[in-house]
């Protein structure tokens, strides 16, 4: 702390700014990481949900297609297949075709009666051991280097037993992938031998994939798995005893790009927010500093007012008493120096000269008597000179003490010994310069009054405020309808002369200042409102309002009284000596 206190204020401010900036950046980085992490997590959840939905959609689609194909095959078996089987001769040697897939009719020994010879088809149909009635799906076999599957339905109602067979090839299965609602994912169908049986990419078909994903897939797991940073949606669709396994791979690289783009946008927004926050903090700091300065100024002002009030309550009466005693002492000292007492100087010397003149004429007085009077005169002169010197030093000391006291009072509290007659004269000069005194007769009467200890600027504002109120009141009275008198020549207009009377006099223990105008007076019902802090009759820029006048005069034990006269208002200020 001591080292911190030894730093210059500029360095302290810079270090504090750097600390705040560092903490802000740290919090911004943490917040950005948290936001991007949550965004990535939400995006991953959305992608997982999309993968699950796509797998479920493909599984349902496969089941629907197989059910449709089986229904079509069963219907075909009850018609065409039954007729071919009853005839017993081989037909359609080039192949029995419909809209999708190839069709075959087999007898009980699995010989092809209708359709081209297909050894893989015969072996696949022979694997269906438990087929008694209805239809079944065979395992996948390789037909012309391509995986194929067969739906086998027993022909009912024929003279001999037989089977109606339908081929399901990779093209039919790949068509399901092509028609899926979401195309940005790579979709593969597997059989139970890890071979790809359907894909939009033809070279992938009949490829064997033995990976962690396919192992979990063929174990019957479903959901979303991740392998080498790539997510796969896995599932299966079961058709009887056989199953078709589905793998949906998220090969879209838009995820990382979206996260990167989102991170950049977050940084941009946070930079803007940080800049705005920084500007707000700077403005907030300036506001706090400004409020602190204002509060300190208000507190200092209140403290000064309290101190001045205490000084006016306790210190000012003492200073006024000291000033009065010093003034009396100065007057007494002045009377003791010079004046009629100086006539005694040389009295004894003149007396000795008379005795000497009388002795020269033979009228008496010895030489010893003459010397005695001369010595007595000399001693009186020397004593008187010493007295004059002491009185002069005392007078100088009194004057010095008075000057020092006034200087200290003025330095410590703004108090100085102020001559009220001088305040009245200077205030009238100010009124002549600043106010409209045209057509206003000023009557000034002043009696000798002692100086009082007070703040001279505040006294000037008080007296000038009363003068301004009086002049404005008389100016408003001039705007009233003019008086009209009847004379011999008829009606004639007469303007009433406005009179401003200013006086000072000394009463017992008080100095009384009177300012009287002919402006018509004030409303007695509104008298109380004039002395409220939120009420002012006039916009006084350089002077006090009545409220501030009364408040200040009370601090120096003074009083302000307003009294209506026959023609106007009389303001009476009483100040304690």
Domain boundary among 410, 431, 451: 410
Share of the chain above pLDDT 90, in %: 5
User: Pairing relation of β-strands 242-249 and 141-143?
Assistant: unpaired
**229-258 pLDDT, tens per residue?**
788 888 988 887 788 898 988 766 566 666
Asked whether residue 261 is assigned to any structural domain, the reply reads no
Q: Are residues 243 and 331 in the same domain?
A: no
- What's the whole-number average pLDDT of the chain? 78
Which letter, b or e, does each residue of 187-207 get, where b requires 16 or more Cβ atoms within 10 Å of its Cβ? bbbbbeebbbbbbeeeebbbe
Q: Are residues 111 and 247 in the same domain?
A: yes
The region of weakest confidence among 11-20, 162-171, 175-184 is: 175-184
- Checking if the pLDDT of 410 tops 80, the result is no
pLDDT average, residue stretch 510-523? 88
Q: Are residues 466 and 330 in the same domain?
A: no
User: Are the C-beta atoms of 452 and 511 separated by less than 8 Å?
Assistant: yes
pLDDT average, residue stretch 149-172? 86
Asked whether residue 178 is assigned to any structural domain, the reply reads yes
Q: Are residues 445 and 306 in the same domain?
A: no
Q: Are residues 426 and 402 in the same domain?
A: no
**Which residue would you say has higher pLDDT here, 279 or 346?**
279
The region of weakest confidence among 63-77, 296-310, 402-416, 505-519 is: 402-416
Q: Are residues 95 and 187 in the same domain?
A: yes
Helix 367-413 and helix 347-360, axial crossing angle in degrees, nearest 10: 170
Q: Are residues 173 and 197 in the same domain?
A: yes
Residue-wise DSSP of 235-292 = EEEEETTEEEEEEEE---THHHHHHHHHHHHHHHHHHHHHHHHHHHHHHHHHHHHHHH
| Strand partners of residue 569 | 564
CA 465 to chain centre: 42
Q: Are residues 149 and 220 in the same domain?
A: yes
Is the dihedral angle over the CA atoms 253, 259, 262, 264 positive or is it negative?
Answer: negative
CATH code assigned at 86: 3.30.450.20
Asked whether residue 283 is assigned to any structural domain, the reply reads no
Asked whether residue 262 is assigned to any structural domain, the reply reads no
Number of compact structural domains in the chain: 3
- Checking if the pLDDT of 43 tops 80, the result is no
Cα-atom radius of gyration of the chain, to the nearest Å?
A: 62
Residue 145, pLDDT score: 81
Q: SS3 for 223?
A: strand
Helix (H) or strand (E) holding 487: strand 483-487
Q: Are residues 186 and 318 in the same domain?
A: no
Residue 503, pLDDT score: 93
Task: Using CA atoms of 194, 195, 201, 202 in order, give the dihedral in degrees to the nearest 10.
Answer: 170
Residue 483, pLDDT score: 45
Q: Model confidence at 374, in pLDDT bands (50, 70, 90)?
A: confident
Q: Model confidence at 362, in pLDDT bands (50, 70, 90)?
A: low
Non-local (6+) Cβ contacts of 72 within 8 A are 98, 166
Share of the chain above pLDDT 70, in %: 76
Residue-wise DSSP of 498-533 = EEEEEEEEEETTEEEEEEE--S----GGGHHHHTST
Residue-wise DSSP of 67-88 = HHHHHHHHHHIIIIIHHHHHH-
Answer whether 0.85 is exceeded by the pTM: no
Asked whether residue 41 is assigned to any structural domain, the reply reads no
Q: Are residues 422 and 382 in the same domain?
A: no
**314-341 pLDDT, tens per residue?**
555 656 666 666 677 767 666 665 545 5
Residue 515, pLDDT score: 93
Residue 577, pLDDT score: 72
Q: Are residues 156 and 230 in the same domain?
A: yes
User: Are the C-beta atoms of 191 and 181 separated by less than 8 Å?
Assistant: no
Instruction: State the Cα–Cα distance between residues 348 and 343, nearest whole angstrom.
Output: 11
Asked whether residue 34 is assigned to any structural domain, the reply reads no
Q: Are residues 112 and 238 in the same domain?
A: yes
- Checking if the pLDDT of 61 tops 50, the result is yes
Residue 321, pLDDT score: 66
**106-145 pLDDT, tens per residue?**
888 888 888 888 888 888 887 776 666 688 888 888 887 8
Asked whether residue 257 is assigned to any structural domain, the reply reads no
Residue 348, pLDDT score: 63
Neighbours of 66 (CB within 10 A): 21
325 token code pair = 């005693």
**519-557 pLDDT, tens per residue?**
888 877 777 777 777 665 554 555 677 888 888 888 787
Neighbours of 548 (CB within 10 A): 18
Full domain range(s) for residue 365: 299-410
Residue 6, pLDDT score: 65
- Checking if the pLDDT of 491 tops 70, the result is no
The region of weakest confidence among 324-328, 360-364, 437-441 is: 360-364
pLDDT average, residue stretch 488-507? 68
Q: SS3 for 59?
A: helix
| Strand partners of residue 152 | 136, 165
**Which residue would you say has higher pLDDT here, 298 or 318?**
298
CATH code assigned at 471: 3.30.565.10
Residue whose token pair is 């911190």: 4
Non-local (6+) Cβ contacts of 180 within 8 A are 54, 57, 58, 61, 187
Domain boundary among 227, 251, 275: 251
**Which of 355, 349, 357 has its CA nearest to residue 375?**
349
Instruction: State the Cα–Cα distance between residues 118 and 141, nearest whole angstrom.
Output: 11
pLDDT average, residue stretch 134-162? 85
Asked whether residue 160 is assigned to any structural domain, the reply reads yes
pLDDT average, residue stretch 437-453? 86
Instruction: State the Cα–Cα distance between residues 249 and 438, nearest whole angstrom.
Output: 103
pLDDT average, residue stretch 5-25? 75
Domain boundary among 389, 410, 431: 410
- Checking if the pLDDT of 512 tops 90, the result is yes
Non-local (6+) Cβ contacts of 527 within 8 A are 562
Q: DSSP letter for 433, please.
A: H
């Amino acid at each position: 702390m001591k080292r911190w206190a030894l730093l210059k204020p500029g360095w302290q401010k810079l270090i504090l700014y750097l600390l705040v900036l560092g903490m802000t950046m740290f919090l911004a980085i943490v917040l950005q990481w948290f936001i991007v992490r949550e965004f990535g997590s939400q995006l991953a959840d959305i992608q997982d949900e999309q993968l699950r939905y796509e797998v479920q959609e493909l599984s349902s689609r496969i089941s629907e297609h197989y059910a449709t194909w089986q229904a079509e095959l069963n219907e075909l078996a009850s018609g065409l297949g039954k007729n071919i089987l009853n005839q017993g001769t081989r037909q359609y040697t080039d192949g029995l075709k419909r809209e999708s897939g190839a069709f075959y009719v087999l007898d009980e020994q699995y010989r092809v009666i209708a359709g081209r010879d297909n050894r893989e088809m015969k072996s696949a149909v022979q694997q269906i051991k438990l087929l008694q009635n209805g239809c079944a799906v065979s395992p996948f076999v390789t037909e012309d280097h391509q995986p194929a599957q067969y739906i086998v339905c027993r022909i009912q109602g024929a003279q001999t037993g037989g089977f109606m067979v339908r081929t399901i090839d990779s093209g039919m299965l790949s068509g399901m992938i092509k028609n899926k609602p979401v195309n940005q994912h790579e979709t593969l169908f597997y059989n139970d031998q890890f071979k790809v049986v359907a894909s939009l990419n033809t070279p992938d078909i009949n490829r064997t994939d033995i990976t962690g994903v396919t192992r979990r897939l063929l174990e019957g797991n479903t959901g979303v798995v991740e392998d080498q940073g790539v997510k796969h949606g896995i599932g299966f669709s079961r058709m009887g005893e056989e199953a078709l396994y589905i793998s949906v791979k998220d090969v879209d690289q838009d995820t990382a790009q979206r996260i990167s783009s989102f991170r950049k946008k977050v940084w941009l927004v946070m930079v803007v927010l940080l800049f705005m926050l920084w500007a707000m903090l700077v403005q907030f700091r300036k506001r706090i500093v400004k409020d602190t300065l204002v509060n300190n100024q208000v507190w200092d002002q209140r403290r000064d007012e309290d101190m001045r009030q205490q000084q006016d309550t306790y210190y000012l009466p003492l200073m006024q008493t000291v000033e009065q005693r010093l003034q009396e002492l100065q007057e007494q000292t002045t009377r003791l120096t010079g004046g009629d007492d100086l006539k005694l100087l040389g009295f004894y010397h003149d007396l000795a000269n008379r005795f000497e003149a009388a002795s020269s004429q033979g009228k008496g007085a010895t030489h010893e008597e003459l010397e005695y009077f001369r010595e007595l005169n000399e001693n009186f002169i020397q004593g008187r000179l010493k007295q004059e010197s002491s009185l002069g030093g005392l007078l100088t000391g009194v004057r010095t003490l008075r000057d020092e006291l006034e200087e200290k009072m003025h330095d410590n509290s703004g108090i100085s010994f102020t001559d009220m007659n001088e305040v009245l004269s200077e205030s009238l000069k100010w009124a002549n310069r600043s106010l409209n005194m045209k057509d206003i007769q000023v009557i000034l009467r002043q009696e000798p009054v002692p100086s009082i200890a007070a703040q001279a600027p505040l006294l000037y504002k008080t007296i000038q405020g009363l003068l301004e109120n009086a002049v404005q009141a008389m100016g408003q009275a001039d705007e009233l309808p003019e008086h009209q008198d009847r004379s011999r020549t008829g009606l004639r207009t007469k303007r009433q002369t406005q009179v401003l009377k200013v006086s000072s006099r000394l009463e017992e223990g008080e100095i009384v200042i009177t300012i009287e105008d002919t402006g018509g007076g004030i409303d007695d019902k509104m008298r109380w409102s004039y002395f409220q802090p939120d009420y002012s009759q006039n916009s006084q820029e350089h002077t006090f309002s009545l409220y501030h006048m009364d408040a200040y005069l009370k601090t120096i034990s003074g009083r302000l009284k307003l009294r209506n006269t026959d023609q106007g208002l009389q303001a009476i200020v009483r100040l304690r000596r």
